[in-house]
Amino acid sequence: MKNYSEDWEAVIGLEIHVQLSTKSKLFSGASTDFGALPNTQACNIDLAMPGVLPVLNEEVLRMAVKLGKALNAEINSPTSFARKNYFYPDSPKGYQISQMDKPIVENGFLDIETKNGTKRIGVTRAHLEEDAGKSLHDDFEGQSGIDLNRAGTPLLEIVSEPEINTPEEAVAYLKSIHSIIRYLEISDGNMAEGSMRCDANVSVRKKGDEKLGIRTETKNVNSFRFVEKAIQYEIERQIHEIESGKKITQETRLYDSQANTTRPMRSKEFANDYRYFPEPDLLPVNLEKEFIEEVLATMPEMPIEKRERFVSEFSLSQYDADLLAADKDMAEFFEEVTKVSNSPKLSANWIMGELSAELNNENLGIKESKVSSSKLGQLICRIEDGTISGKIAKDIFEKIWTTGKEVDDIITEEGLEQVTDDKEIESLIDEVIENNPQQLEQYRAGKDRLFGFFVGQVMKASQGKANPKQVNDILKSKLEK
């Protein structure tokens, strides 16, 4: 397809559904544990039995207030609930309790980093609502089943302004929200389990036009990569349709990750189609000033604050601080390693290098690391105090990963202490020079890059145990004689 960036502009807004990590549901005491047998965690309220009434879970208010603060938003008090009417088999009430006119969070913003610098994205609102159940199509041949375990699970729907213009910006915004909810510990953000899902509203218009194009909504995309691909496809599809003389239909679409396409799901509903009206079984909620202050007093250090502290306290580069602070677990692991190693920069390098590579190889999270923060810190200590070289440290790291042994035990058992004796290193260098007369002649004739060759040969002869700085210093003096 034609490169849309030449003549067209995309206008993107995201609706992010975040499942709040409460122990019980939004309006009932039923458990929210993931993975239980179908319909074992649904009570009379979730089943919409006659005569039952919803009771608001106070914990969701605390979580929503924290998110509002993190998004620089207003907290509405009173905040109220409404019925959003629609009939789906997995919603036994025939309506969803949500928020319409008085969402708990409104008018915020979030700054994201783009290739063109920092960009501010408006956050229209974040409102509380209950999740629906789930239709099961594969378990019964020719029929569908209904699992209501998710029915009533508390969600916060975070709605952005249509101020995102590229798939890359959409992913940056989504990752920032993901980082924030995990720092606040209001959700585990597990997209594979549906704890965070994204609806992408996409339209296109010619550059310079002010009028928005007709938008489509791609529903329930559940990974950063798929969000980027789905939006990219939808932008190109809409431009192709318009340039072919066709019109865009306002509709809800589904993303097919196997085919990397979107396809129509249903016509897009308007707010009027839902016939919102105030929820008669729930009074508006007044959030007392003392309640909000009490919640705000429990706010943790947020990603942006942590990034700034990593730069000022540990003298990390902005790049390193951004990477480490983006993930709460990784940031905590880094601080634990640094407490032992007392070397922030080397600790950052090891976490973002060797450790991340091993975690990716085995598809593990940093909390599942086979090398603990204390052992990695001890390993870095042995590099810093000259006991081992950086090369040997990589071998030891692999042994810790596979055996779980202590750093000093591996060094002692395998005789891996670094060679720092000048005479021993000189002897190795003399041997290497003697065995490579042709390279010596070329080096002395001006082929400076052969210096690396000699260093490599000496390190190889020492089985990686010679102190690299001493090797460099002594070798240089000998080659220049």
CA distances from 65 to 170, 279, 297, 298 (A): 24, 21, 11, 11
pLDDT at 212 > cutoff 70: yes
pLDDT score for 270: 63
> Residue 121: helix, strand or coil by DSSP?
strand
pLDDT score for 179: 95
CA atoms of 324 and 337, how far apart (whole Å): 12
CA atoms of 118 and 116, how far apart (whole Å): 7
Q: What is the mean pLDDT of residues 128-157?
A: 91
The DSSP result for 200-234, as a single string, is EEEEEEETT--SPPP-EEEEEE-SHHHHHHHHHHH
pLDDT at 481 > cutoff 80: no
pLDDT score for 268: 61
pLDDT score for 3: 55
| pTM (two decimals) | 0.84
Q: What is the mean pLDDT of residues 35-48?
A: 93
pLDDT score for 274: 80
Q: What is the mean pLDDT of residues 103-120?
A: 94
CA atoms of 345 and 40, how far apart (whole Å): 50
pLDDT score for 210: 87
pLDDT score for 464: 83
pLDDT score for 139: 76
pLDDT at 281 > cutoff 90: yes
Tens digits of residue pLDDT in 167-209: 999 999 999 999 999 999 999 999 988 899 999 999 999 998 9
Q: What is the mean pLDDT of residues 281-296?
A: 96
pLDDT score for 194: 86
pLDDT score for 265: 81
pLDDT score for 59: 97
Confidence of residue 467 (pLDDT cuts 50, 70, 90): confident
CA atoms of 224 and 357, how far apart (whole Å): 20
pLDDT score for 5: 59
Confidence of residue 88 (pLDDT cuts 50, 70, 90): confident
pLDDT score for 478: 87
pLDDT at 266 > cutoff 80: no
Tokens of 419: 């060679």
Q: What is the mean pLDDT of residues 367-373?
A: 96
The per-residue pLDDT of the chain, averaged, comes to 92
Q: Which of 310-324, 383-397, 418-432 has the highest mean pLDDT?
A: 310-324
> Which residue type, as a one-letter code, is found at position 162?
P
Tens digits of residue pLDDT in 238-249: 999 999 999 999
Confidence of residue 271 (pLDDT cuts 50, 70, 90): low
**Which of 153, 152, 128, 132 has its CA nearest to residue 67?**
128
Q: Say if CB 37 and CB 74 are below 8 A apart.
A: no
> Which residue type, as a one-letter code, is found at position 331?
A
| DSSP E strand stretches across 8-79 | 8-19, 74-75
Q: What is the mean pLDDT of residues 251-271?
A: 83
pLDDT score for 128: 98
Tokens of 251: 């509709």
| Percent share of the chain, pLDDT over 90 | 76
CA atoms of 30 and 12, how far apart (whole Å): 37
Confidence of residue 433 (pLDDT cuts 50, 70, 90): very high
Query: What element of type H or E holds 176?
Result: helix 167-184
pLDDT at 463 > cutoff 70: yes
Tokens of 120: 């501010």
